[in-house]
Amino acid sequence: MNYTSIFFDSVINLLYPQLCLGCGSGRISGKQIICLDCADALPVTDFHLYRNNPAAKVFVGRIPVEHVSAHAYFNKHSVMQNLLHQLKYKGKKEIGLYFGRRMGEALKGCDKYNEIDALVPLPLFYKRERKRGYNQAAVLCEGISEIMNVPVFKNILVRKENTATQTHKSREERWQNIEGKFELVNEEAVSGKHVLLVDDVLTTGATLEACGRELLKAGNLKLSIATLAYTSL
């Protein structure tokens, strides 16, 4: 054990304490990103345990899906909204890895998700990903993969063009905005596999539906969906 390293780490944490990314005040240490109070307060769902859950109902009559889950509820002016904002717009990639691992732990404990063969992140337009530095859905997949030991297929599905933000749009407007904007460029990679499509937030499901339709063009593919958060309009 390197006692010198431990001593200096302790001194640094004392002089420059790491603060919770959720509330900004609680102290954290090591690889933690949120304090215990924020972690305990997260509105985690149990959707992965039930087939007919609110997230799954979003896709009924739209596309055939095996399983749908969302890790937590999304509420405005909440810790979850703050963390998602930092993940998407403030370069806090570690938030995605943290929640990806939490998602992976929940899904791994559920037998039906142990049949997953591959993780596919919902793609960003390449210019937006370059500007952001990463795709938050791909970062979530990295965390899930670390726990579930399932490969991530990052480049089989591409976003052909940039689209206006989906915020404040109705379900119909969101579908019109996103329809035909994705392309499956490697059908063979996912043909015959059970794929888990991953994104950060599920609202109307329009973007996930568009991606799901494209993935289902591969032969004999089973599609499941997992998001970090779930909200309704």
pLDDT at 16: 56
Q: Residue 8 pLDDT > 50, yes or no?
A: no
pLDDT at 7: 45
Q: Which residue has the tokens 């997992």?
A: 226
Determine the distance from the C-alpha atom of residue 26 to the mean position of all C-alpha atoms in its chain, rounded to a whole number. Answer: 25
Mean pLDDT in residue range 127-151: 96
Delimit the CATH 3.40.50.2020 region(s) of the chain.
42-230
Q: What is the dihedral of CA 142, 144, 146, 150, to 10 degrees?
A: -100
Query: What is the residue-wise DSSP string for 73-121?
Result: E--TTSHHHHHHHHHHHS--HHHHHHHHHHHHHHHHTSGGGGG--EEEE
pLDDT at 184: 95
Phi and psi at 96, nearest 5°, equal: -65, -40
Strands (E), the chain: 18-19, 27-28, 68-73, 118-121, 157-159, 182-184, 194-202, 222-230
Q: Residue 17 pLDDT > 60, yes or no?
A: yes
Residue 40 three-state SS: helix
Under CATH, which number does the domain 42-230 receive? Answer: 3.40.50.2020
Q: Are strands 194-202 and 27-28 parallel, antiparallel or unpaired?
A: unpaired
Mean pLDDT in residue range 134-142: 98
pLDDT at 179: 74
Q: Are strands 194-202 and 222-230 parallel, antiparallel or unpaired?
A: parallel
Q: Which residue has the tokens 């200096």?
A: 8
- What token pair was written down for 150? 């399932």
pLDDT, tens digit (0-9, with 9 covering 90-100), for 64-83: 999 999 999 999 999 999 99
pLDDT, tens digit (0-9, with 9 covering 90-100), for 90-119: 999 999 999 999 999 999 999 999 999 999
55 Cβ partners below 8 Å, 6+ apart? 45, 47, 68, 69, 70, 202, 225, 227, 230
CB-based contact 209:177 (threshold 8 Å) = no
Average pLDDT, the chain: 89
Mean pLDDT in residue range 33-40: 92
| Long-range Cβ contacts of 30-36 (<8 Å, 24+ apart) | 33/92, 33/94, 33/95, 33/98, 34/79, 34/83, 34/98
pLDDT, tens digit (0-9, with 9 covering 90-100), for 211-223: 999 999 998 999 9
pLDDT at 160: 85
How far is Cα 85 from Cα 71, in angstroms, rounded to an integer? Answer: 17
Q: Residue 120 pLDDT > 50, yes or no?
A: yes
pLDDT, tens digit (0-9, with 9 covering 90-100), for 163-211: 655 555 666 666 567 777 899 999 999 999 999 999 999 999 999 999 9
- pLDDT above 90 covers what percent of the chain? 75
